[in-house]
Amino acid sequence: MKIFLFLIGLFSFQFIFTNDLTEKELLEQGELLFNERRIQEAIQKFTLAIELNPKNYLPYFKRALGFLKEERYTSVLADLAQVCSLNPVFQQAFLLRGKVYILIGKLQQANEDFEKVLEIDKKNSEAKSQKKIIQNLQKKIQRLENIESSKSLTSSKIKESIKILDEILSSCSRSVDFNLKRAKYSLDSKDYYEAIKFCKRARISDYGNNKVLLLLGKIMLQMEDIQASNDYFHECLKYDPDNKLCLKEYKKIRSMNRGIKEGNEKLEQKQYEKALESFSQVLSLLDGNLLNIQSTLYQKKCECLYNLEKYKEAKTECTKSLEMNPQNSQAFLFRGECNSKLEEYDQAIHDFESAQSYDHTLRNIVNEKIHNCRIEKKKLTRKDYYKILDIQKDANPSQIKKAYHVLAKKYHPDVVSSDVDKEEAEKKFIEISEAYEILSNPDKKARYDSGQDLFDDPHGGGGFHNFQGFPFQGFEFPGFNGNGFQFVFNF
């Protein structure tokens, strides 16, 4: 309690002591703090001095210098306006205000201040020098306007515009309009971080500028940072609740956010049809400039369709994704999977290699997929025993045996009547028997499935390409001609 009372007493003493300081003492303390770079404390001292004597121009000028250090240009101009009003012949105030006006891109006001200085002192060299800078800037601005007003902006004209803008910004570095214009050029060239840099420079002069906030929201949307985009549009509405453009973008971004969230949840829950619908709805909200988000959404649609085993449709969506963003590694990966399912193995290998080139973390996954594609491609040059027996590749031994017996009865040469049909049946029967011998033998089946060439086997596994006639001797088929019969196969 004693410590508390002591602190209260000390605070009261300091408050009384501060208030007892004269205007001169406050200015001296403020200057000392300013030189020590304790700018906010210095500003407080100058403010107290102003309160003691609002008619003295000097505390306003000193406080303006403090605000200038903190780049609070609105406050700088407000204090300098007071200085110029209280002392209309104080050249330093007009010179400083003119330079600030150049910095924020208000050249006409700057020129008026330098003219005022020359009225006071016709020989003032600094005012003359600043007027020449303004004249040079005005010529560049006129040249920029002429280029931008042309019917078509070629790449060379765009480069020239950017060059001129950069020259203007070397003098008007805190201009909202010129920084905003430069940011738009950066956005058009998809240099998002540079665009953000120019927007943030513009905000130094006018923190709540709705045009800047609107552009920042659009930049973040291009970068797929939907939350940051939402925050900028929301901030825009805080400064101007009736701003129709900000409100429109804010509503759109909320709908997008909700649709993407729902789509991802459905995709995770393997509700692919519903996820597909959500992603399609979000795509309908987007304009043609949001290429990165569109690419991601088309890729998500591709993933849904792939899981629905609609490989051709999925491939189309992945291709759309890559048209929007040619470096989307996930789109390449899924399109590779689609091509693999469609037995377009060369295209699949190309897609997998492309995915790896843009995302090196996929190396191990991609290498395995490429290896599998090469095996499957090699299989295409051989007989497809699964297709011959009309079974799936995951058929079990019982299904393989059943399929074989059905086809063997159907194509046995004794079943057909004419010699022509019998010859065709014999070829078919040999093919069926060959398929059955491989797929019914676990070791041969495993080697066949892995892509090994069985016909080069030195142990003679499955060497059907050299035989004459049928591969089995004494193979019986019950039920033909009312009795079992025996057909002898000769090599």
Is residue 434 pLDDT above 70, yes or no?
Answer: yes
Secondary structure in 3-state letters for 96-139: HHHHHHHHCCCHHHHHHHHHHHHHHCCCCHHHHHHHHHHHHHHH
Whole domain around residue 299: which residue ranges? 286-381
The better pLDDT of the pair 216, 406 is held by 216
Same domain, 366 and 419: no
Residue 62 contacts residue 80 (beta carbons within 8 Å): no
Q: Which of 381, 409, 440 is the last residue of a domain?
A: 381
Segment 266-276 mean pLDDT = 96
Are 408 and 433 contained in the same domain?
yes
Residue 237: burial class (beta carbons within 10 Å; 0-12, 13-18, 19+): middle
Do both 472 and 406 map to the same domain? yes
Q: Does any domain span residue 460?
A: yes
Is the pLDDT assigned to residue 10 strictly greater than 50? no
CA distances from 403 to 341, 395, 462 (A): 24, 10, 19
Q: What is the CATH number of the domain that holds 411?
A: 1.10.287.110
188 pLDDT above the threshold of 80: yes
Q: Which of 146-155, 207-216, 375-384, 434-443 has the lowest mean pLDDT?
A: 375-384
0.75 surpassed by pTM: no
Please enumerate in sequence order all residues whose Cβ is within 8 A of that of 182, keeping only pairs 6 or more positions apart, or say none. 162, 165, 166, 169, 198
Give CA–CA dist 391/429, Å, rounded. 16
Does residue 75 fall inside a structural domain? no
470 belongs to a structural domain: yes
Is residue 435 located within the same domain as residue 347? no
Helices 272-285, 244-268: crossing angle, 10 deg rounding: 160
**Residue 230 in domain:** no
Q: Report if residue 101 sits inside a domain.
A: no
323 found inside a domain: yes
The answer to whether residue 308 scores a pLDDT higher than 90 is: yes
Q: Which residue, of 381, 411, 441, is where some domain finishes?
A: 381
* 57 within domain boundaries: no
Whether 417 shows a pLDDT value over 70: the answer reads no
Whether residues 302 and 349 share a domain: the answer is yes
**Is the pLDDT reported for residue 12 higher than 50?**
no
Number of domains in the chain: 2
In a domain, residue 348? The reply is yes
**pLDDT of 412 strictly over 90:** no
Read off the CATH number of the domain in which 317 is found: 1.25.40.10
Q: Which candidate, 305, 252, 308, places its Cα nearest to that of 281?
A: 252
- C-alpha–C-alpha distance, residues 193 and 213, integer Å: 15
- Report the chain's C-alpha Rg in angstroms: 41
- CA atoms of 432 and 439, how far apart (whole Å): 11
Which of 381, 404, 439 is where one domain is finished?
381
pLDDT at 410: 82
Mean pLDDT of the chain: 86
The closest alpha carbon to 50, from 78, 70, 69, 88, belongs to 78
The phi, psi pair for 486, rounded to 5°, reads -120, 130
Alpha helix stretches (DSSP H) within 223-310:
226-239, 244-268, 272-285, 291-307
Q: In terms of domains, do 350 and 291 share one?
A: yes
Cβ atoms 61, 90 nearer than 8 A: yes
